[in-house]
Amino acid sequence: MRIVSLVGNRPQFVKAAPLCAALRALGDEVLVHSGQHYDPELADLFFDELGIPSPDHALEVGPGTPVHQLAIMMERFEHVLRDERPDAVLVYGDTTTTLAGALTAAKNGIPLAHVEAGLRSFDRSMPEEQNRVVTDHLSDVLLCPTRQAVDNLAAEGITRGVHLVGDVMFDASRMFAPLAAARPGPAALGLEPGGYLLVTVHRAAATDTPAALDAMVDVLSSLGQPAVFPVHPRTRGKLQPGGRWEALEGVPGLVLAPPAGYLDFTNLLMNARAVVTDSGGVQKEAYFHGIPCITLRDTTEWVETVEGGFNALTGMDAARVGAALADLSMPAERPPYYGDGHAAEAIARAVVEELG
């Protein structure tokens, strides 16, 4: 069986690390990199340190609006599909890359498998929600990380080709935690283990308007304790006009760091007092490592982490973030929401059984 897998951003690279090996044990995988994350600090570094096979094709989409990127990806990906003639296309998650792969496969009559199917924040204003809903309704094999995801699909009338497989990011977390633990860690930044917050902000809703950027600066300026913020290149570019970057440089205890590779980032997360983020993937990674999470959004696709008391939704609101930081208690036991750490093998088997 010949499968074309399409990846394009940091979480997809992480998920590809265990899944590429599982797919290649059962068939022929062709790996395509869209170039959605085009900065070497966010792409090449992940391939190198996680041992992901070099992409067989690079679409090199580069910067642009989501619509611009989508159009270029679809055109270039179609050429790949016509050359490779795969039995199936596999996409991950909820990015522009995901949607491009799904639409191009559907228009060319090629069966589609979706990793992380069924997730819903129920906020259609989010680009990620738009992408995941469309992708699910085009997919032939829907690979769900949680029982809630299966239920969400059933509520939309999707029951065929649905598999509860667990979360492949949990596989990656288990695989790379020992390597991450050996990295230099917070001491290299002058921080004490367990004595700082780890901050990430990158979503369009938090960075694309002056009001959103001002709210971010307000939140980060009011944390009141040591924090490290590995700044996404896109976020830094948005912050630099208007004196916002300079304002953050003046916040006591806030370390503005370059983007971190997966292993270095995981080390920072494992040693943090808490995580403050707008990232879906980082919410899960905090859960995997037993670190309290504060999510700078009003909705999340990872609802079980909130319902279980491991994650607090605050929006980009300094007062709500402060209140959540004042109460960081979380249950000692973490239920197996995301499977047993063998999702990659379950995904590969499901794809081959359904489409092989």
Positions annotated as catalytic residues are: 202
Taking only Cα atoms into account, the Rg of the chain, rounded to an integer number of angstroms, comes to: 20
What's 52's DSSP letter?
P
Q: Could you give the CA distance from residue 45 to residue 109 in angstroms, rounded to a whole number?
A: 34
Nearest CA among 146, 112, 158 for reference residue 338 = 146
Q: Could you give the CA distance from residue 103 to residue 262 in angstroms, rounded to a whole number?
A: 29
Nearest CA among 267, 254, 189, 185 for reference residue 219 = 254
H, E, C per residue of 174-232: HHHHHHHHCCCHHHHHCCCCCCCEEEECCCHHHHCCHHHHHHHHHHHHCCCCCEEEECC
Name residue 338's amino acid.
Answer: Y
Taking CA 5 as the corner, what is the angle to CA 57 and CA 235, rounded to the nearest 5 degrees? 80
CB atoms within 10 A of CB 356: 13
